[in-house]
Structure 1
Amino acid sequence: MRAMFPRLPARSLSPWLLTLITILCGGGIIQDQLQRWQENDQWHLEAIAQHQLTDLNRQLDDIVSILTALDQEIQANPEIGQTRLNTLAPTYLALAPAVSNLQLAPDAIVKAIYPLGNNRRAIGHNLLLDDKRQQDVLNAINIQQTVLSGPYKTLQSNYSFFLRKPVFLPGSKGKRFWGFVTAMVEMDRFAQETGLTALRSAGMTLALTHSLNASTLYGDQLGPNQDTLTLPLNPLAPWNLQLAREHQNFSFPILLSYGTLLLLSLSFFYINRHIFSHPSHLGEKLAKTQAKMNTLEQTDLRSGLFNRRSFLKQLHMRYQLFHAQNGLSALIVIRFSQLKQLQLTLSSDDNLQLMQQISSQLRTLSRKTDLLGQLDQDTFGLAIDNFSCMNDVWIAANKLAGAMTKAYPVNGGEVTLQCRFGISLVIKDGLEADVLLSRALIALESDQGLNSNISFFNQSMEYKLLERRELEKQLKSALAKDQFFLVYQPQVCPGSGVIIGFEALLRWRRSQSEIEAPARFIQLAENLDLIQEIGAEVIKQACRAQCAFTNVLGRNVQMSVNLSAKQLKEPSLYHTIKDNILNVGTPPSCFTFEITETTFIESQEQASQTLERLRSFGVRISIDDFGTGYSSLHQLKRLPVDELKIDRSFIEGVLTDQVDTGIAKTIIALANHLQLKVIAEGIETNSQHHFVTGYPDVICQGFFYHRPMEMDQAVATLKRQKQQMSPRQQAQQRL
């Protein structure tokens, strides 16, 4: 018997005991992990629901804010109508894209709607006589609060709901009912803007249900074999948000875990005797490795500071209980100008050296209680506390700016970096970290801190950013929609009033009732790299218009077109101009291209080459707004020009300001001496006209003669001029 079952030494039992312990502990861990999976699954569902609920309520709150703003407008102007609504509504609708239209209903009768369009048939609709809406309308008047009704099947869309706010004006006998301001919200657009559509597309089962009768307003029918979560919406809306998904089956991962545990236990059986007989530092090495992995995950490898994700996490923990902090707190975002471009020219070692110097300088300047991190390739974040007022924060940022704006030694040389600061103040409890960072970045990118390179966030910056983004969005699609067009302002001989040419002026038709001048969008078009396409379209339209004007008069008509600095830097500009002129078959000398002195200075080398080629081709070059930029005889000598255009600022003061009169006369005399053509722009009064008639060679342009006009109106004006001229005058004009 002993031969069959020899007695094992106690040391030989250790592998078996440890393997058994491993299996028992591993089984417990697996069961615990199963429970964690189930809890995490439920937590994830709740997190999605809470986040979605926040988006829904925020959207409803934004719509209520719009109605409140309209209420305040009515308090100031009870006679508000369609015209005023057309002015206000675009800004409001940009804040709440889910709203399809806004309505004004004085005495509960719809009188104004924006946008009007297909909604015109709703004008005159009496809400008190509408059986579907009567109860909600009367309820809103009785409780004197905003009421949500619907959704209803509407003429404009499938289903929409309405937020209706009663407006009361102060009267001699108390409040007087004025009427309603109403926001109509399409259900499908509301679902898309709040993320419900995206959740459904991602496979989530969800529904908006009525809290009273449990009817489904939007979404899916929830099944019995699903984990379901129900949350109430905004008190304004008697709705519930329901989210559900199929019960998760963890059988496969559990079986896989037990199989893995078995393999690990068997492997452990063979190696544990070596662990006992030869003690090692395996545990210590594992701990160091884990600590190193955590460090790599939380820090930026270049600077050694918290990376963006870890910085936001730390910032959230820092300010989620703001009331525990003493004094004023702020988030400062620091961006180094030109750092990204500089890094492209440096080696990886030089880049690392530079980033370490910057981070070391930031650590030296910050306090132990401050939170420091690297947010981007050229952007850093610094959270500071315990300041008594906003001015102290500015002083701290100003000191930081002075210390960071310095020369950094790199690769045997030095690089000087400039930086800008965007600051968001912590002004209430529980602010989200990403909101603080977003506000600081908005302040950083705003133009309100250009003078001191330090900018504090304020609400108007956010509105301007939203407005700018909407303008960018519309501008990008304007070319495809053919919304850009030209108007033409005649250039005349002041003595006879005969039109001898036109200046082509760009306009943007954003809507049927809204036309933008270039000052509103040209700079943005240049920033978005759209100016080349827009400029090519301007040149094409101007060439076609010149050909049409020439055909009307039977003689060549001059056409002036403005060029920007970015266009002059584009190598293809010469071919664009040449090809369009050759396509219409008009002599190149009939075209004048205007540049400002500033435009030439910004791109001298490229501009000189392009202008010389254009002039060799035969077109004329004009200096626009002459006398307001870098005017000098040296520059005038270098520029290949044929024409000077006197700026309107000098023309305005020719009769009241001796300096302006002297400048205007000097420019005319200088141009005559250099055999350059002169155009005086901005002639708006009879006195100004009388002044320029004393110089018969000067061509005039301004409202006194003609306002800018569209193509058809310009053709009609030329036809009238031709009819009023005698055959002899027409022959002289052709000559």
Structure 2
Amino acid sequence: MPDATRNEVICEKILIIEDDAGFAELISSTLTDGGYAPHSFSCGDAAFRWLSSNSASLIIIDYTLPDMTGAAFVERMHELGLTIPFVMVTGRDDACLAVEMMKTGACDFMVKDTTFLDRLPTVVSRTLLEAATRQKLKIAEMSLRQSEARLTRAQKIARMGSWEWNIRSDEIYWSDELYSIFGFTPGDPQEIRMEWLYTLIAPQDLTAFKKAMLNSVKTCQPFNINYRIITKGGEEIVVSSQGEVECDGEGRPCLLSGTTLDITARIRAESEIQQLINYDTLTGLPNRSLLHDRLHLAIAQAARDKNLLGVLILDLDRFKGINDTLGHRAGDKLLKAVAVRLEACVRETDTLARLGGDEFVAILVGVSHVEGITKVAKKILSIISEPIYIDGHEIYSTCSIGIAVYPMDGDDSHTLLKYADLAMYQAKDLDRNNFQFFSREMNIKVLERMMLENSMRKALEREEFFLVYQPQVDTRSGQITGMEALLRWQHPDLGLLAPDKFIYLAEENNLIIPLGEWVLRTACRQNKAWQDEGLPAVRVAVNLSAKQFGQYHLDQVIASTLMEAGLDPQYLELEITESTIMKDAGQNTIILQKFKDMGISLAIDDFGTGYSSLSYLKHFPISRLKIDRSFVKDITTNPDDAAIAEIIIDIARSLKMNVIAEGVETRAQMQFLSFNNCVEMQGYLFSRPVPADVFANQLRNGLKY
């Protein structure tokens, strides 16, 4: 679509050089609809004759012409000194040709395919905008060079501010020009001391200034430093000071002298050039150039941190209609308002950029789950759909968002932007005002999440949750000493779901408390029922989430559950993760002691995967440490895992705690653990998690492994 930021589109003359008259007419018609003034020619010579007396803002040229190739046309342009931006068009998708043309200066390379006319307005708009930006940059650079030339002439005919510092007497001399730079009347104050000078230097630069001066005196070497000062009038300016040390006959420093120049104007000019190079002139957001730099860095950081990275491309829906109806000035104001709203949806560490026209890009860094990207996309859709008031008009706008995720969809900036763009067009095809992930698999995951969110609240009422039990075994006797109660969800549409598919949603939606209480109540009742049947009495281990552990009066809830089930507290074990206990170690010690006083057994789950202070650990009333399955998996082949397991076993023994290993799947693992005095284990070697009736038979008949 035409770029809304250009207020004089009708003045843009575009030269079309295409020997296919029908295709040239289609290009001309498309550009006319976009508000441009096209001029068509079927050969290169005719185009050059027209250019000899006319000017064009852009040339669209077919690579294959009757009288010359596109390359020959470009070469002749260069010989004539013509610097008109051009877009090369060809009927074949040739990557080598595209690279060759881009090297000759082509702004873009387009293939005559079925989407050519749809893509053409965007390519033209972007090319003209980039050309305008380059022209502004050229003017700014010329202005900077002129300013530097004037400054050079001024330095030849006028003194800069000069100064001297007598190191031995601490006397300082300033020239009249230096007084003026600092905003003082020459000679006032008459006596200048270094401590007074320090008060005029911006605090953030003072340390560097002192270091440069003292280092120069110490080494008798010249110095040159730029720093900020606060003038007498309170204005902050940037100055450049350079000086040299004079030494006496014995080589000792005695005088430091030099000059100081106000470089504020130069610094501002350089800053303005950088702004033009890297930032969009309308919204102030990073432009396409800076976006690629930021995305490249973000990908590298995500690779180091092993995080996800979200790339969102969003396009305002039906923006052209708003632009055409209310005018370009209103369109510009709408884009500015949208940019402000988008900035409120992302963090300072993220990047928000404008590609041009009504397209924006957001780079979301430090993402651990795809759901985090989904939240931002929903927030953007919501905030953009709110009315915007411009020039007395209430404007309702929506947007379509395409999302690509590193590393699943690609590991370079070009691929991620390409796939996010494709996903954005998919979103537009689906009635707009929505977001789409590039990969079909991710769209399925998002739909699954929505389905889970909608059905989870009623799942307890519908009795869709159930428990399975995995035995814990004393490998010396082969007897079952306990079991872990594990939650499952028989979803009516998605089938059997393990906890990793829905527990995080329960925590986000605050359903983990009632769900956790149901698990505790069901496990206690089942254990008591087995005991009433005369089966061996063993403990049942139940996991407590971080939110459950922080629940008010949790000890009363558990005591009530045990009383209701009629289960002796010694047959209940609560498993709490290492990280949960350490969040507020002092307060948690009190809570854990209450459980211990009730007779409940306590275990630290996944021990070794988090961070524990041994000084706190010895004070926790813990009965059992549980070696995480990640260490057990390669315990017989990985020396590091083996060493960690041995350390955990030694810690448990020294603190008079029991130890149990989970995830034991092979006899070799079992033998290694047994040899190192870890005799209690659970894992597939003994039994998978099984339904209540199967576990009852295991209690009754024992295990075979």
TM range (shorter): 0.3 to 0.5
TM-score computed with the length of structure 1 as normaliser = 0.40
TM-score computed with the length of structure 2 as normaliser = 0.42
